[in-house]
Chain A
């Protein structure tokens, strides 16, 4: 069973860059069936898809964050990463990485990391 684990700083100051890494274990990050997503959840709120990456490096981002987001992949270390620049308090959230299966009538998040809380505060 594939497992995902987020890692990175939990506290940032406004204007800094958020950097998180997701490590994949128990499966291949280079499997053609899957994309690799970042999703966030503001405290007590719903879920927001940030974007995803294919093992080849192809990406797709949420337009609401596109100007500040970069997702990259390191297949040799089975990791993919999120960078979000110029953070503000509005970026305070739990950040999840998730495996994304894309098939017939489905692009779904079928495996998730535990999530990591990132707080932006001066």
Chain B
């Protein structure tokens, strides 16, 4: 299986801050990477696919980059509704696997 790691595991930030989350794959996955946001008690929500493509309806303050093994999710100006846990997911090889998550909470 392709192992996904994320850093940091948690980050405390303020409204308006720029937040960057890193995801690393245990082997190259080209651009087969997605990012999800999950709030407590809710299902995950797709934010980014193909490493850098913004899902329809997702605010433009979210952006993704990277290819191969190293990827980033950036929130350019954190909003109150962005406090959540973020997961990366690879779809290059079966089984699809997720990172362990990065929790973004209020400083």
Contact = CB atoms under 8 A, between A and B. Distances in A.
A47 interface: yes
Interface of A: 46-49, 60-64, 96, 98, 101-102, 104-110, 112-115
A46 B101 contact: yes
B43 A113 contact: yes
A112 B34 contact: no
B43 A48 contact: no
Contacts of B36: 109
B43 A107 contact: no
Interface string B76-107: 00000000000101010011111111000000
Contacts of B97: 49
Name the prevailing secondary structure of the A interface residues.
strand
A107 B95 contact: no
Contacts, number: 63
Contacts of A47: 44, 87, 89, 98
A106 B95 contact: no
B43 A46 contact: no
A47 B31 CA distance: 20
A106 B99 contact: no
Nearest to B46: A110
Given A46-B100, A47-B44, A105-B30, A110 B55 contact: yes
Nearest to A37: B96
